[in-house]
Amino acid sequence: MPSASPNASKNVLTRDVNIEGTLRFEGECIFDGTIKGEIVSPNGVLTVGNSANINGEVKVKELTICGKVLGNVTASEKCELKSSAQLEGDLKAQRIVIEDGACFVGKSEVSPGKVGKFSEPQPRNSNHHPAAVPAEPVRKASNPSPTVA
């Protein structure tokens, strides 16, 4: 369930809406139309409806996708792909929920703030020596003799 503030507005854009450019909103938005451009709302909660067709970047706080998105997606908190969702693009979010049946083609990055720390290459030290050194090969005994106890 979206967690927009109780005083925030709720915007509903139905399937007959066709936008070229940038859509900005505050509060909650249910988008079921077509857009060629980007959707931006740093504190917003966006629901992409079943009939929606988005061709562009999406940057919101929380995102639920039921329709089709072709473009990169950034959700600062949570992104949920419902079973009818089709997402083709990279996905960055603190939390990701993907239902059975959803189609996602792209790379995902969960907790971008933490992932960045681990993805940076470590500097190589020229005095670096491996922690483990390969052992000498084992040689066969030439004439093993049985031991008597």
Q: What pLDDT does 140 receive?
A: 58
What is the average pLDDT value for the chain, to the nearest integer?
Answer: 83
Q: Which of 49, 48, 12 shows the shortest CA–CA distance to 27? A: 12
| In the chain, % of residues over pLDDT 70 | 69
Closest CA to 47 of 18, 11, 76, 90: 11
* pLDDT, tens digit, 9 for 90 and up, residues 90-113: 999 999 999 999 999 999 999 856
The whole-number average pLDDT for the span 14-39 is 97
Distance CA 18, CA 25 (A): 16
- CA-nearest of 71, 123, 66 to 97 is 66
pLDDT band at 9 (very low <50, low <70, confident <90, very high): confident
User: Nearest Cα to 63, choosing from 104, 115, 6?
Assistant: 104
pLDDT exceeds cutoff 90 at 77: yes
- State the average pLDDT over residues 2-12: 67
Asked whether residue 45 carries a pLDDT value surpassing 80, the answer given is yes
- Taking the complete model, does pTM exceed 0.85, yes or no? no
Looking at residue 118, what is its pLDDT?
Answer: 28
Confidence of residue 127 (pLDDT cuts 50, 70, 90): low
pLDDT at residue 16 greater than cutoff 70: yes
Q: Mean pLDDT over residues 52-67, rounded?
A: 98
- Of the pLDDT bands very low, low, confident and very high (cuts 50, 70, 90), residue 1 is very low
